[in-house]
Structure formats: C-alpha cells, structure tokens
Amino acid sequence: MKMTSSKITISSLLVLLALLTITEGISVTGIELRCRCIQTESRPIGRHIKKVEIIPANSHCEDSEIIAILKKTGQEVCLDPEAPWVKSVIARMMSRPINEMLPPSGQKRKS
C-alpha cells in the first residue's frame, strides 16, 4: 500500500502541529518567557513568609517581580514591589551579609 505525497505531507503537518501544541509555553532553558506575577499582594504578610525570590526586570518581563513562599502551605504569592512593607523586607535582605543567606559549604540550605 503506497501513500501519495499529499497524504505524507498532510500527515507530517499534523504531527508537527501536535508537537507545537504540546510544547507551546514550555521554555527549553527553564527560564520563564513571560511575567510570573499577574496579581500582587500589598497587604502585610511578613510573618507568614518562609522565603523570598527577587526576579529582576528582563526582556520577557519589564517589571521586577518579588515572589514570597509561605511557611505553612508553600504557596507562592507575588508581592507588590511598591508596598512600603515589601520595600522594608527587601532592604533588610539586601543589608544582610551574603554568607548569612547561603548555607555553609557542604550543607543543603534549609528552605
């Protein structure tokens, strides 16, 4: 049974379309290709924060993003970088020596 060239072309296009659909939005390098924060929290939640991640503005997102991970749930919450309490948290983080933020060599960091 011989396939015509048009059937092969159509089959190839369908496979390509399926692969493109599956990989849509997946970053090959693991870098987000868009902003992660759609909505931000401006209410003080400082005592519930376990860890803070700062993502500077880049070519994929024009805004700096501050993402807090909560202690109890591990949920990620985007913080409003303009909120006074968030600015205070960031200032305290930046004033700490780098060796206080990193685990001793050979040990895993507690998160």
- Phi, psi values for residue 47, rounded to 5°: -75, -10
Q: How many domains does the chain have?
A: 1
Write the CATH number for 78. Answer: 2.40.50.40
Q: Distance (Å, rounded) from C-alpha 85 to C-alpha 75? A: 19
Express each pLDDT in 83-98 by its tens digit. Answer: 999 999 888 888 887 7
Instruction: Give the model's pLDDT for residue 87.
Output: 92
Structural domain harbouring 55:
37-104
Of 75 and 94, more confident:
75
Residues of the chain with pLDDT > 70: what percent? 66
Reduced to 3 states (helix: H, G, I; strand: E, B; else coil), residue 77 is: strand
Residue 94 within a domain: yes
Residue 83 within a domain: yes
Residue 28 within a domain: no
Residue 23 within a domain: no
Instruction: Say if residue 82's pLDDT is above 90.
Output: yes
Q: Are 56 and 81 in contact (CB under 8 A)?
A: no
